């Protein structure tokens, strides 16, 4: 048990980032699925759902990363605003990456990827694809393509967001050292 506690202390930040990242991803998917279902078949529904989900997830991630992952302590509204601005700016980059991936792989070139991956050859009336609930999200070649690219996009974004948060937003820099010493 002591060894486990030692490993946890050593890798606490990464472990907490993975846990909070998983929660953020869950929040993202809930917001995206709910948005996608509410938007139905309107033009560019997947892009709108992506934007809504990103805004909700980024806000959730800022709060959880600040409090549980990087344990950042801000003492003034100015420090909080600076941290929030840097966080949202960094997440804005991955937000745009998510929109770009959605636009290219889901909105513009979906037919190419459906054919490339053979998604048009699957039986969408059996197994999980035939489930009445799952079929609303996975029940056609285009919906399955959207799901696949959403998953891949989120993996890339999770990695990029950790690097940006650790190195730029919640870094333990000179100002934190000065506060501790002062």
Read off the pLDDT of each residue in 61-78 and give the average, rounded to a whole number. Answer: 92
| Distance in angstroms (rounded) separating the CA atoms of residues 101 and 145 | 12
Whether residue 62 contacts residue 94, with contact meaning beta carbons closer than 8 Å, is answered with no
Residue 84 has pLDDT above 60, yes or no: yes
- pLDDT confidence of 179, banded at 50, 70, 90? very low
Mean pLDDT in residue range 23-44: 90
Identify the pLDDT of residue 109. 97
Q: How confident is the model at residue 40 (pLDDT cuts 50, 70, 90)?
A: confident
> Has residue 27 got a pLDDT over 90?
yes
pLDDT value of position 169: 87
pLDDT of residue 44: 86
pLDDT 10s digits, 144-168 = 999 999 999 988 988 898 888 888 8
Per-residue pLDDT, 176:
43
Taking residues 129-148, what's their average pLDDT?
91
> How far apart (Å, rounded) are the C-alpha atoms in residues 176 and 121?
57
Q: Residue 108: what pLDDT? A: 95
Asked if pLDDT for residue 117 goes beyond 50, the answer is: yes
pLDDT of the residue at 155: 87
pLDDT on residue 46 = 87
* CA pair distance 46, 36, nearest whole angstrom: 7
Question: Per-residue pLDDT for 181 more than 80?
Answer: no
């Amino acid at each position: 048990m002591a060894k486990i506690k030692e490993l946890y202390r050593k890798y606490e930040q990464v472990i907490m980032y993975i846990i909070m990242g998983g929660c953020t991803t869950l929040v993202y998917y809930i917001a995206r699925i709910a948005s996608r279902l509410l938007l139905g078949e309107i033009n560019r529904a997947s892009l709108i759902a992506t934007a809504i989900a990103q805004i909700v997830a980024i806000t959730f991630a800022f709060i959880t990363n600040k409090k549980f992952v990087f344990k950042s302590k801000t003492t003034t509204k100015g420090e909080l605003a600076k941290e929030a601005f840097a966080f949202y700016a960094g997440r804005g980059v991955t937000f745009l990456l998510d929109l770009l991936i959605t636009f290219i792989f889901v909105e513009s070139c979906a037919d190419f990827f459906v054919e490339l991956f053979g998604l048009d050859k699957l039986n969408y009336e059996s197994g999980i694809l035939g489930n009445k609930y799952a079929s609303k999200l996975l029940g056609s070649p285009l919906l399955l393509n959207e799901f696949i690219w959403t998953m891949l996009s989120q993996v890339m974004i999770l990695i990029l967001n950790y690097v940006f948060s650790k190195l730029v937003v919640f870094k333990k820099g000179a100002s934190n050292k000065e506060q501790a010493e002062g």
